């Protein structure tokens, strides 16, 4: 039994509390009466300088925040010298084990430096086989050589995974060429206006003096060799007419908006822009299969046929694809003109991947920052995934980042293994996050079953839980046959493992199990607001008859 009566100490405690500020107490709790209680000298608050008051800081509170959030992190020595060389966007000066493919591309594109139209090229190969890096390397060499020999030649790169419709492709190309044309016209106008001033000065000199040796004549000025491919002019009137024409051209340049125009108008804008002056253009379409998948082959048909209508310029297409069979879906006319030349990039083996990593690591890391087993292990992991150099580089970069976080002086084998787990988990998270809602519901039904201890899950059990989830969030219920197709798609993505097994006289069924971490997958699914509503759903597992 507790005694609710306050003891003596509790009764006296109010006397020790600070008195509220009033007319007899100053703002800082200073008693303004004349030595009323304790015989202290009275304090005149009017004489107190607020700047001289030092407030006591808590004695036990460490002053760690003053160091700043990143100070401790910056104390360690960095492992990286230049991390960017390990990213997919980096184009190296040398590409090991791709000399044959690079030479093939150069042999085809060299005709552009002679002012002729190169053959269209299709480049095939799985992810991480060096297709884009090799194509960009050759393109940079082509543009550098064209400037050296003063041949108008350029390469325009488009990632069709991002720019995946005919309208977007044409708009991006049109606006790029309009920008270049505007810059060209501005340079010409600057040179011609300067020439106009010099010609006017020469004419004034001629009219004001009889001595023809005082300066150049008007004819000599108009015959000057300009760096902008203009002239010579026979008269100042001809020069004025050319300036007026360029000014009109500049005013008529109209960039295409990202939406709102008819496609044929965008195409005409692109056509006029690319044909404004003489040049050879190579249009590099990376992930070209994504463009065909999203918007058909109309873009490729128009681009591959436009040379017959161009007066000044010539256009060639370089398509890059991970899908070796995507041309099967093309119109035969497009297929014949687009695939004039084909180059296949085979996967790298472990030895080749090791050479690539060794070359990049010499630039990416500080000396003696990698353990002996790091590069061979990265190469071995990537070789298992169809020889993916991009995966190998990601592994090496992520391992280095993990080593930096551990504040170690070297990257070790354990960092590579942790990087492998992290990259795989990141891939799963991204795949699951971008699944359609129906696929997410099927996957969540599988997760709930496995989470509740059900093993060798069959399609019927997944379908029963899937139906309940659809009812919970008011979603359409697909047929069991369609749900079976979705399970097959999840199997292809590597998220579940679905094996067809025979049940004897009961027929055949799919036995399903999760191929990815259960908790992480569930967390990604529950981050979807609609699925998050059924987080507490408990699956009903029907009785099963297993043979």
Q: Single out the residue of 394, 183, 363 nearest to residue 273, CA to CA.
A: 183
**Spatial distance between the Cα atoms of 382 and 373, rounded to a whole number of angstroms:** 14
Annotated binding site: 129-133, 348, 360
Cα–Cα distances (Å) from 478 to 131, 439, 464, 465, in that order, read 40, 11, 11, 12
Strand, helix or coil for residue 155: strand
Burial (CB count <10 Å: 0-12, 13-18, 19+), residue 67: exposed
Burial (CB count <10 Å: 0-12, 13-18, 19+), residue 372: exposed
Which long-range contacts link 44-53 to residues 24+ away (Cβ below 8 Å)? 53/28
Which long-range contacts link 333-341 to residues 24+ away (Cβ below 8 Å)? 333/301, 334/297, 334/300, 334/301, 334/304, 337/120, 337/304, 337/305, 338/120, 338/122, 338/300, 338/304, 339/120, 339/122, 340/119, 340/120, 340/121, 341/104, 341/108, 341/119, 341/120, 341/121, 341/122
Instruction: Write out the two tokens for 289.
Output: 């299969």
**Spatial distance between the Cα atoms of 128 and 322, rounded to a whole number of angstroms:** 9
Burial (CB count <10 Å: 0-12, 13-18, 19+), residue 322: middle
Residue 125's DSSP bridge partners are 345
Please state the φ and ψ torsions of residue 320, each to the nearest 5 degrees: -125, 130
**Spatial distance between the Cα atoms of 348 and 366, rounded to a whole number of angstroms:** 26
**Spatial distance between the Cα atoms of 441 and 463, rounded to a whole number of angstroms:** 10
**Spatial distance between the Cα atoms of 4 and 171, rounded to a whole number of angstroms:** 82
* Mode of pairing for the β-strands spanning 457-458 and 121-125: unpaired
How far, rounded to the nearest angstrom, does the alpha carbon of residue 12 sit from its chain's CA centroid?
Answer: 69
Annotated binding site for ATP: 129-133, 348, 360
359 close to 98: Cβ distance less than 8 angstroms: no
């Amino acid at each position: 039994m507790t005694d609710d009566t306050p003891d003596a100490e509790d009764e006296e405690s109010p006397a020790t509390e600070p008195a509220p500020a009033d007319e007899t107490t100053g703002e800082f709790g200073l008693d303004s009466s004349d030595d009323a209680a304790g015989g202290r000298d009275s304090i005149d608050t009017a004489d107190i300088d607020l700047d001289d008051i030092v407030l006591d800081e808590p004695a036990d509170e460490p002053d760690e925040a003053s160091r700043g959030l990143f100070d401790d992190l910056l104390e360690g020595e960095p492992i990286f010298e230049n991390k960017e060389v390990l990213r997919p966007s980096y184009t190296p000066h040398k590409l090991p084990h791709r000399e044959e493919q690079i030479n093939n591309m150069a042999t085809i594109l060299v005709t552009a430096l002679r002012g002729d139209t190169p053959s269209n090229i299709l480049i095939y190969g799985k992810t991480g086989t060096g297709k884009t890096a090799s194509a960009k390397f050759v393109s940079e060499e082509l543009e550098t050589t064209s400037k050296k020999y003063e041949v108008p030649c350029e390469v325009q790169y488009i990632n069709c995974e991002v720019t995946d419709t005919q309208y977007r492709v044409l708009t991006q190309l049109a606006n790029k060429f309009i920008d270049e044309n505007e810059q060209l016209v501005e340079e010409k106008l600057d040179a011609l206006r300067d020439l106009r001033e010099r010609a006017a000065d020469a004419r004034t000199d001629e009219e004001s003096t009889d001595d023809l040796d005082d300066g150049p004549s008007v004819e000599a000025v108009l015959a000057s060799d300009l760096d902008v491919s203009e002239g010579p002019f026979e008269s100042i009137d001809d020069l004025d007419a050319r300036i007026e024409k360029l000014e009109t051209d500049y005013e008529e340049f109209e960039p295409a908006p990202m939406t709102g125009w008819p496609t044929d108008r965008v195409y005409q804008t692109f056509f006029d822009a690319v044909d404004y002056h003489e040049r050879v253009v190579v249009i590099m379409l990376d992930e070209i299969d994504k463009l065909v998948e999203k918007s058909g082959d109309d873009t490729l048909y128009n681009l591959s046929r436009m040379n017959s209508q161009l007066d000044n310029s010539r256009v060639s297409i370089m398509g890059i694809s991970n899908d070796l069979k995507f041309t099967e879906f093309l119109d035969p006319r497009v297929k014949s003109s687009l695939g004039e030349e084909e180059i296949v990039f085979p996967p790298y083996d472990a030895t080749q991947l090791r050479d690539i990593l060794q070359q990049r690591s010499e630039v990416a890391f500080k000396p003696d920052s990698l353990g002996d087993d790091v590069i061979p292990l990265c190469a071995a992991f990537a070789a298992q995934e169809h020889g993916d150099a991009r995966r190998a580089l990601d592994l090496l970069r992520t391992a280095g980042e993990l080593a930096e976080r551990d504040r170690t002086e070297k990257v070790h084998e354990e960092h590579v293994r942790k990087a492998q787990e992290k990259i795989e988990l990141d891939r799963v998270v991204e795949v699951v996050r971008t699944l359609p809602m129906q696929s997410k519901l099927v996957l969540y039904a599988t997760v709930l079953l496995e989470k509740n201890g059900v093993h060798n899950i069959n399609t019927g059990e997944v379908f029963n839980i899937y139906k309940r989830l659809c009812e919970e969030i008011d979603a359409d219920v697909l047929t069991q046959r369609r749900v079976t197709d979705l399970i097959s798609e999840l199997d292809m993505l590597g998220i579940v493992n679905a094996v067809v097994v025979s049940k004897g006289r009961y027929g055949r069924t799919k036995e399903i199990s999760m191929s990815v971490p259960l908790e992480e997958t569930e967390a990604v699914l529950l981050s979807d607001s609609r699925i998050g509503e059924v987080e507490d759903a408990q699956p009903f597992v029907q009785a099963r008859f297993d043979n």
